[in-house]
Every structure is written in structure tokens, then in C-alpha cells.
């Protein structure tokens, strides 16, 4: 049995190679660039007016005659003589030999003549070519997570696809002969299967789109065949249940038979002691304990950071904060505890009902208190570490 820290250290060594893919920009939200993106053009690509007004050659005259019009999208490039101006609008091409734009509020127009009432400084109100970015400059750096602004920015450079860290494809293998899919009347001796939909929801929140759920009974052959299928098609496998030491727990054996290398098994923690982690080539496997609260805790603490790292994200652990405990916590077990809790400001309260079979408490909690294996007791008002359940 290893410590929580050792388990996290082992996981943090992976992935050792990343998978990339090219996606169109409209599918790139929240994905992470795996290479620098260079600008294919100057932005703006030409000198643009920043105002509705008049473009002219700066001089000490205060009267100019209007010789043409340049509206957004026009390609006309007027050649102005001294004393001439062009009616111009925001975003329109500024004639090459005009150097200044005056906003329309600062002139008096009489017919085809303008009288300047408030002279701007020379070069005012013109967006210079390449003022935002120049051709072949880095537009966005490797490891940038693309938000909506970044996507808009790349689009304004004419970019339509980007190469990003591939979001893992995930298989969820649910084991258990007692499990029944919700939707029909519950049979004697069975319970409704809840881990798959719960893990699927958590995965979706993390940005995973490709999720396949497979359900098997506690049957060695079916487990083995299903694992083989997922290993061939997915980047991450989450197995639920069947990883303890019961006579009908076949998952570990089936994983090893599929040549998945064991990286650790069993952590000194509560809940979630029988967590198993392994890999086969570029596919990683977490065999999560079947008890729903254990499965979810193991997902948050161990699977999520790896998943996020594979996706190119930088801050992969759930956020931890320190708060004062409103409750006394006893920890005679010498294990690290993850307790479902309610965090409010700087105080945190352990909730009733910590059994790993219960999801009810989890549904009401917004944090896990992490009590270190060395800490035998937390007194009221002591500082404790809290893991915020915000994905």
C-alpha cells in the first residue's frame, strides 16, 4: 500500500508522450495549443480609419475640400493633394498619402467643404498596418488554452484550424452482476447502476466528448474482452468495481492478462483504498472501487489530473484551500481521509454520512476535507486542507 503523495507522484510522471490533433477553430474552445501559432498576415492588413470622419494630409490649413468617400470594405486608394480630404468611416482604408483622420464631430461641413473646428494631432485616428500583430509574429503561444477571445483573434488572422492536445477518448467499463440500468423496475437483489452516468457527467464537465460505456457482469471473460476492446480504441479506461479482493472481483487479473502494466495498487486512504493504476502504451487505466463515493473521490483526486494533463492543461489538480474546521474530526486509522464537506468562506463543516456507498452526502457537498494520515485529530477551529469540487 502506498501513500496518497506517492500515488500522485507516480501519476504525475504521465503522460510521457502527448497526442495531438488538428481541429477546426469552431471546435477548439477550451482546447490547448500544442505549438506556437504564427500570424499569416499583418493585422490590420492596411491602414484603417478608427473613426467616422475625414482623412486628409495634415497641414496648417483649416479648410479642406472633399474629393471622395472611403467606406468600410472599399478598395479605392485616393491620391490626395494638399487641402483635400476624403469622407471616411470606421474600418475603411485610409488613402496612402493621407496621414490624419479627424472625427466628424470636430468639423463643420458645408457642402463639399469641411472647416476644422478642433485640429487633431498629426497621425490621429489611424490604425497602423500590423499595429495589432505583424506577419510571422507569434499570435498565440504553445500551451495557450483557447477561450472565446483567442478563437476570435485567430479567426481575424484568417486561421481556420489549429493543432491542439488531443482530448482523451474515454471508455467506462462498469462491472457488477448486481447492477441494473435505470429505466426498468428494480429486480430483487439488484441496485441501479449509477457510476457510469456520474463519471460520464464528470468527464463531460472536463471537456471529454468521446465516451463509451460498457457494462459487464462479474465474469472474467467478459471483463477481459471488454478491457481489450477499450485498450484498442480509447486513451483512458475507467473501470468501475471488481478491483477488491472478493471471489468475483476479476478486474485486476483481466487487466494484467491484457498486458496492462500495473503502476500502483492500493492507497493508504479512505475512501478508495483499492484504487489500481496502470498503462498499456498510450492508454491509461484507473480501476476505481465500485462504491459510488469512492469511485468519484478517486476520479477527482487521481484520474482528473491525468486527464487534464493529457489534454494539455497546466493546473491539473482541483484547487485546494485552507479553512477552519467547524467540526472535530477523529482519524485513528492512520489513513488519509477525504471527507465530504461544506465549505463556506473560511470555514468548513464535515457532513453527516461519510459512507463510501452513499452519494447523497456527496450531492450536498462542495468540497472534500483532506486529513493527512499523520493527523490523528482535528479540533474545532483547526486549519484543514479543503479540495474544492469545482471542475
Return all residues near 131 (Cβ < 8 A) that are at least 6 apart.
43, 44
CB of 357 to ligand AMP, least distance (A): 6
Task: Specify which residues 340 forms β-bridges with.
Answer: 368
The smaller minimum CB distance to ligand AMP, of residues 206 and 240, is found at 240
Answer with the entry of Mg ion, ligand AMP, none that 372 interacts with (C-beta below 5 to 8 A by kind).
none
Verify binding: residue 176, Mg ion, rule CB under 5 A: yes
- For Mg ion, the binding residues in 52-111 under the rule CB under 5 A are none
Q: What is the 3-state secondary structure (H, E, C) of the chain?
A: CECHHHHHHHHHCCCCCCCEEEEEHHHCCCCEECCCEECCCCECCCCEECCCEEEECCCCCCEEEEEEEECCCCCCCCCCCCCEEEEECCCCECCCCCCEEEEHHHEEEECCEEEECCCCCCCCCEECCCCCECCCCEEECCCCECCHHHHHHHHHCCCCEEEEECCCCEEEEEECCCEECCCCCCCCCCEECCHHHHHHHHHHHCCCCCEEEEEECCCHHHHHHHHHHHHHHCCEEEEECCCCCCCCCCHHHHHHHCCCEEEEECECEECCCCCEEEEECCEEEEEECCCHHHHHHHHHHHHHHHHHHHCCCCCCCCCEEEEEECCCEECCCCCEEEEEEEEECCEEEECCCCCCCCCHHHHHCCEEEEECCCCCEECCCCEEEEEECCC
- When CB distances to Mg ion are compared, the closest residue is 241
Q: How far is CA 266 from CA 277, 285, 342, in A?
A: 9, 14, 27
Q: Which stretch binds ligand AMP (CB under 6 A): 16-24, 149-157, 173-181, 317-325?
A: 173-181
Total residues contacting ligand AMP by CB under 6 A comes to 18
Q: Among 95, 241, 271, 272, indicate the residue that binds ligand AMP (CB under 6 A).
A: 241
Q: Which stretch binds Mg ion (CB under 5 A): 15-23, 179-187, 288-296, 377-385?
A: 288-296
Q: Per-residue x/- marks for ligand AMP, 120-159, CB under 6 A? A: ----------------------------------------
Verify binding: residue 242, ligand AMP, rule CB under 6 A: yes
Q: Among 4, 28, 150, 174, indicate the residue that binds ligand AMP (CB under 6 A).
A: 174
Verify binding: residue 179, ligand AMP, rule CB under 6 A: yes
Q: Which stretch binds ligand AMP (CB under 6 A): 31-39, 66-74, 76-84, 234-242?
A: 234-242
Q: Per-residue x/- marks for ligand AMP, 339-378, CB under 6 A? A: ------------------x---------------------
Verify binding: residue 272, Mg ion, rule CB under 5 A: no
Q: Among 52, 84, 99, 193, indicate the residue that binds ligand AMP (CB under 6 A).
A: 193
The residue among 145, 332, 357 whose CA lies nearest residue 340 is 357
Verify binding: residue 283, ligand AMP, rule CB under 6 A: no
CB of 218 to Mg ion, least distance (A): 6
Q: Among 191, 201, 321, 376, indicate the residue that binds ligand AMP (CB under 6 A).
A: 191
Verify binding: residue 241, Mg ion, rule CB under 5 A: yes
Q: Among 290, 301, 371, 378, indicate the residue that binds ligand AMP (CB under 6 A).
A: 290
The smaller minimum CB distance to Mg ion, of residues 95 and 241, is found at 241
Verify binding: residue 292, Mg ion, rule CB under 5 A: no
Are the beta carbons of 133 and 276 closer than 8 angstroms? no
Verify binding: residue 172, ligand AMP, rule CB under 6 A: no
**Positions that interact with ligand AMP (CB under 6 A):** 174, 176, 178-179, 191, 193-195, 240-242, 244, 246, 289-292, 357
Amino acid at each position: 500500500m502506498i501513500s496518497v503523495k506517492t500515488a500522485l507522484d507516480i501519476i504525475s510522471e504521465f503522460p510521457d508522450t502527448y497526442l495531438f490533433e488538428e481541429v477546426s477553430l469552431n471546435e477548439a474552445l477550451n482546447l490547448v495549443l500544442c505549438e506556437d501559432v504564427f500570424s499569416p498576415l499583418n493585422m490590420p492588413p492596411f491602414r484603417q480609419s478608427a473613426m467616422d470622419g475625414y482623412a486628409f494630409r495634415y497641414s496648417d490649413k483649416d479648410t479642406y475640400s472633399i474629393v471622395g468617400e472611403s467606406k468600410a470594405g472599399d478598395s479605392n486608394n485616393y491620391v490626395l493633394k494638399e487641402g483635400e480630404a476624403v469622407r471616411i468611416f470606421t474600418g475603411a482604408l485610409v488613402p496612402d498619402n493621407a496621414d490624419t483622420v479627424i472625427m466628424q464631430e470636430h468639423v463643420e461641413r458645408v457642402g463639399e467643404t469641411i472647416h476644422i473646428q478642433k485640429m487633431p494631432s498629426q497621425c490621429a485616428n489611424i490604425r497602423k498596418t500590423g499595429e495589432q500583430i505583424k506577419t510571422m509574429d507569434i499570435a498565440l503561444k504553445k500551451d495557450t488554452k483557447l477561450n472565446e477571445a483567442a478563437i476570435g483573434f485567430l479567426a481575424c488572422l484568417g486561421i481556420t484550424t489549429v493543432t491542439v492536445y488531443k482530448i482523451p477518448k474515454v471508455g467506462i467499463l462498469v462491472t457488477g452482476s448486481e447492477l441494473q440500468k435505470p429505466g426498468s423496475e428494480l429486480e430483487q437483489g439488484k441496485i441501479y447502476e449509477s457510476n457510469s452516468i456520474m463519471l460520464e457527467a464528470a468527464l463531460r464537465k472536463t471537456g471529454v466528448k468521446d465516451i463509451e460505456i460498457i457494462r459487464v457482469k462479474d465474469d472474467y471473460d467478459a471483463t477481459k474482452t471488454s478491457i481489450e476492446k477499450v485498450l484498442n480504441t480509447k486513451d483512458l479506461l475507467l473501470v468501475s468495481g471488481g478491483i477488491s479482493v472478493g471471489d468475483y472481483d476479476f478486474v485486476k487479473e483481466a487487466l494484467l492478462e491484457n498486458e496492462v502494466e500495473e503502476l500502483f495498487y492500493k492507497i493508504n486512504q479512505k475512501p478508495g483504498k483499492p484504487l489500481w493504476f496502470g498503462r498499456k502504451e498510450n492508454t491509461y487505466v484507473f480501476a476505481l472501487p465500485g462504491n459510488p463515493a469512492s469511485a468519484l473521490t478517486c476520479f477527482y483526486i487521481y484520474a482528473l489530473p491525468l486527464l487534464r494533463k493529457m489534454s494539455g492543461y497546466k493546473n491539473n489538480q482541483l484547487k485546494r484551500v485552507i479553512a477552519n474546521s467547524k467540526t472535530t474530526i477523529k482519524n485513528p486509522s492512520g489513513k488519509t481521509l477525504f471527507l465530504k464537506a461544506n465549505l463556506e468562506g473560511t470555514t468548513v463543516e464535515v457532513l453527516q454520512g461519510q459512507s463510501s456507498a452513499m452519494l447523497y452526502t456527496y450531492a450536498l457537498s462542495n468540497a472534500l476535507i483532506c486529513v493527512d494520515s499523520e493527523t490523528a485529530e482535528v479540533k474545532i477551529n483547526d486549519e484543514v486542507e479543503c479540495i474544492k469540487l469545482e471542475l
